[in-house]
A = this chain, B = another copy of it.
Amino acid sequence: MTAKLKIAVLGATGYSGLELTRILLHHPRVEKPLLLRRAAEGSTPSDLAEIFPALSGNGAYPLHPLSWSWLKQEGVELLFLATPHEASRTLAPEAIHEGLRIVDLSGAWRLKQARHCAIYGFRDADTLKAAELTEKAIYGLPELHSDQLPGAQLVANPGCYATSVILALAPLVRADLLNREQGIISDSKSGVSGAGKEPTAKTHFVSVADNLSAYSVFNHRHVGEMAEQLGIDTQELVFTPHLLPIPRGILSTIYVRLKNSTTAAAIESCFRSFYQHRRWVRIFATPKLPQVQFSLNTNYCDIGFCLAEDGQRLVLVSCIDNLLKGAAGQAVQNMNLMYGWREDEGLQ
């Protein structure tokens, strides 16, 4: 048996970072991950199980201050960044300079240079280094870019909403079935962990429970990723996110019109052939539709659809667990492909 990969996680104290750590702890190909914290996070507590008692009982999970020299000394090859996008924007170039490979779970490297400037407001957007790295970064949606992952130095893990929307639309867009002039609409709903661990008025239990609310209409950052990856104009897509009173899970209901009248069988076949070798997409035969619960705690993206009697109006339903296929699970899937392992290693 070959030696296991040495890895590290920066940001294990957030929801995605915790989920990532859980998976990596049981991944057969990697050593127990080194857990890092940024200076900004302070020094206490010093063990992840103090923050997440659910982890206790399996030994220690020490949180080390980030140090490039120490990582080198420990033989770490791959670093997961589960950090805010501003931090990732600074840290990724440093890490790559140190010879590490990176899977970044933030939005820092997902978009083309100009768009990053506009959407994330990075002031480095026109510097040479950032421009170079942006060009090198691989958008880590393995169902679209698995061939580019083995050589990737920097993988930009997709946004959770973006994953659910892109995977539902890519087969139809690539097959040029959509009447895009009629517009594409994604009405998406996400559990609260998607809003992060920071306590705010918006994430207070009393604000969320017994409620549903739409937000960021016409200006959510993930629209940039969706448009780029689907090769459409942002104007062609209306995306409305909603905050669901559940801890995790995303369901996107997507409305499109087909160029020509077609059959449910043809739609299903389009999806099945597009994803025929992909382990983590499940296609539901009409009239069955995915529900949030079905993909919860899994790395699956579930896709179903209903076609109107006219054969043209099509409703797609796409579900993922926002912390797995929408974040940590996908990050591990990306690692698996970067190292030539089976796509589902450690994810079953």
Contact = CB atoms under 8 A, between A and B. Distances in A.
Contacts of A253: 187, 214, 240, 242
Nearest to A209: B247
A249 interface: yes
Contacts of A192: 204-206, 209
Interface in A137-173: none
* Copies in the assembly, this chain: 4
A292 B206 contact: no
Contact of A315 (B217, B244, B293, B297): B217
Nearest to A200: B199
Contacts of A187: 187, 253, 255
A124 interface: no
Contacts of A189: 189, 212, 242
A151 B301 CA distance: 45
Contact of A206 (B26, B193, B290, B308): B193
A251 B185 contact: no
A26, A182, A212, A214 interface centre (most CB from chain B within 10 Å): A212
B306 A211 contact: no
A169 to B, nearest CB: 16
Interface residues of A, number: 69
A247 B206 contact: yes
Given A203-B206, A240-B253, A253-B214, A57 B300 contact: yes
Given A249-B210, A289-B213, A292-B213, A218 B57 contact: no
A313 B234 CA distance: 12
Closest 8 interchain pairs by CB? Answer: A187-B187, A199-B199, A217-B306, A213-B291, A192-B205, A205-B208, A211-B293, A54-B294
Interface of A: 15, 26, 53-54, 56-57, 182-183, 185, 187, 189, 192-193, 197, 199-201, 203-215, 217-218, 235, 238, 240, 242, 244-249, 251, 253, 255, 257, 282, 284, 287-298, 300, 306, 308-310, 313, 315, 317, 348
7 contacts: A54-B295, A205-B209, A212-B244, A212-B249, A217-B315, A238-B315, A245-B245
